[in-house]
Structure 1
Amino acid sequence: MPAPKRPSVAQLQKQCDTWNAAHAIGTTVSFEFIRGEGETYRGKSKSEAQVMGGHTAVIWLEGKSGCLNLDHCTAVEEATA
């Protein structure tokens, strides 16, 4: 069985641009280490999404020492007072 095709740099950049247009820095983000297994971390974004090394769309979150794959992140709507 062939390996799944990786997205192109242009597709990754579009993913980042779409995320950045919808979510400002400081947005609360839920992260799943393994997609579909449930939230493993929640924190605020401290960067815009960007393409790392031409192969992965990533974002940095407060409290984490490294970037996280954007495919594993979901923006969380916070209740307003």
Structure 2
Amino acid sequence: MPAPKRPTLAQLEKQCATWNAAYPIGTTVSFEFIQGEGETYRGKSKTEAQVMGGHTAVVWLEGKSGCLNLDHCTAVVGDDDATA
């Protein structure tokens, strides 16, 4: 089975721009360590989404010491601090 294709830098930058346009810093975010396995952490974003190392779209959350892959994050819509 071939390895999955990685997104291009342009695709990652678009993913970040779309996230940043919809969700300002301070938005509550649900994070799944393994996609589809359920929430493992919930916190507020403390940065805009950004491309790390040219290969991954990430966001930094309060209470976490590292950044988190944006593909594993969902903005919590309906939370008082989230915007749609």
Query: What band does the TM-score fall into relative to the shorter chain?
Result: over 0.9
Structure 1 residue aligned with 2:59: 59
Structure 1 residue aligned with 2:4: 4
The answer to whether 1:49 aligns with 2:49 is yes
**TM-score, scaled to structure 1:** 0.96
- Secondary structure at the residue paired with 1:18? helix
Aligned residues: 80
Q: After TM superposition, what 4+ stretches of structure 1 lie above 4 angstroms from structure 2? A: none
The aligned runs of 1:17-28 (5 Å cut-off) are: 17-28=17-28
Structure 2, unaligned runs of 5 or more: none
Q: Deviations over 1:21-50 (max 9, x none)?
A: 000000000000000000000000000000
**TM-score, scaled to structure 2:** 0.92
Structure 1, unaligned runs of 5 or more: none
In 2, distance between residues paired with 1:79 and 1:27? 9
Identity of aligned residues (%): 84
In 1, distance between residues paired with 2:68 and 2:80? 25
